[in-house]
Amino acid sequence: MKHSNISIFIPHAGCPQQCSFCNQKTISGSKSAPDSSEVHSICRQALSEVSDKRNCEIAFFGGSFTAIDRAYMISLLEAAGSYIGKDGFYGIRISTRPDSINKDILNILKRYGVTAIELGAQSMVNSVLEANDRGHKAEDVFKASELIREYGFELGLQMMTGLYRSSYSDEVSTMNNIIQIKPDTVRIYPVVVLSGTRLAEFYKNGEYKMMPFEEMTELCGKMLVEFEENGIDVIKCGLHASDEVEGEKIAGYYHPAFREICESKIYRQKMNAEIEKLYNDDISNNRSVIFAVNPSCISKALGHRKSNVEYFRNTKGIDIKVTGDMRILKYHCEIRG
């Protein structure tokens, strides 16, 4: 059954400093933090609109939830908690900083019905964290993750690809460290350079050099495969599409179909490997290849706007066709969407 969230944004609340890339008001579309009455209003409306409440969580996103004023945090939890349980929603999901987790905090979260905690790890390389003003270290992610597991919460980790002073090997190192922690979920947020941020200044003066978009989608495609093969559910890949982001971005890896593009690259690589096998078997006179895939993955195999069809036609002179008829089995690869 598909999971859903009732998202309540608390932009920049609780953050002890401004990270190089961050403009939460733009990302969330929110201008001010909600009070408990607004939480009640949002939840009451959702009760009348959400049919499958037992697969739905009230989610506090946007800031560092456990670093906000304690009384304010509890008031939000109390408001949301009154909609949890019988005839209500499954639980509460929060996002926070790795260095804002301790046993006292976790006891409070447990008391008010929090079910999942997502940590904004962003990178697992200390030099990258320091360069982007994160104010915590990779070790904090390991420690907080262990505590969260100990208390029985669902654990999610959020990472950013393409950060200032992060190399390709740094990205792979972050991925491998996250796999070592083995969270339940991961969100992959490729960097989007927003106006009004320190990162925007670095980009404008040429200090911040970005990996080409094609390379980034290939990298994130690799991460999708690695995380899924290690039993980690990637619940987001790419920044959420919004008018605010589109209006404020000046550079970066923003595309409303970012994940689809990454998944298309996964298919392209595997399809290319199958084609090479065919040619090694002296079938080079065959200029048309049919691939059979899971019917739900046909669009991914074709590529975003049929980009894979164009790629093989233009670079290899091969016409590819994709079918969901598994009886025509020259190629099969199922990727969770």
What is the distance between the alpha carbons of residues 68 and 61, in angstroms, rounded to a whole number? 12
Residue 185: C-alpha distances to residues 90, 227, 293 (Å): 17, 9, 26
256 Cβ neighbours under 8 A, 6+ residues apart = 241
Q: What whole-number distance in Å separates Cα of residue 53 and Cα of residue 55?
A: 5
Q: What is the pLDDT of residues 213-226, one digit of tens each?
A: 999 999 999 999 99
**189-225 burial, b if ≥16 CB within 10 A, otherwise e?**
bbbbbbeebbbbebbeeeebebbebeebbbbbbbbbb
Q: What is the pLDDT of residue 332?
A: 46
Q: Are strands 154-161 and 114-122 parallel, antiparallel or unpaired?
A: parallel
- Give per-residue burial for 114-128: e unless 16+ CB within 10 Å, then b: bbbbbbbbbbbbeeb
Terminus-to-terminus CA distance in the chain, angstroms?
14
Cα atoms in the 13 Å half-sphere on the side-chain side of 218: 9
What is the model's pLDDT at position 280?
Answer: 66
The rounded Cα 187 to chain-centroid distance in angstroms is 2
pLDDT for 275: 83
Question: pLDDT for 40-95, tens place per residue?
Answer: 999 999 999 999 998 999 999 988 999 999 999 999 999 999 999 988 999 999 99
Encode pLDDT of 227-266 as tens digits: 999 999 999 999 887 767 888 899 999 999 999 999 999 9
Average pLDDT over residues 17-26: 76
Taken as a whole, the chain contains a residue count of 337
Q: Are 168 and 219 a contacting pair, CB within 8 Å?
A: yes
- Which band of pLDDT confidence, cut at 50, 70 and 90, is reported for residue 11? confident
The mean of the pLDDT values for the chain is 90
Q: Residue for token digits 């290319």? A: 272
Assign 288 to helix, strand or coil: strand
pLDDT at 337: 34
Provide, rounded to the nearest whole percent, the portion of the chain with pLDDT above 70: 90
Contact 77, 120 (CB under 8 A): no
- 6 near 57, Cβ under 8 Å? yes
Q: What is the pTM of this model?
A: 0.89
Contact, 69 vs 17, CB < 8 A? no
Joined together, the tokens standing for residue 325 give 């008829």
What are the b/e assignments for 63-100, b being 16+ CB within 10 Å? bbbbbbeeeebbebbebbbbbbeeebbbbbbbbbbbbb
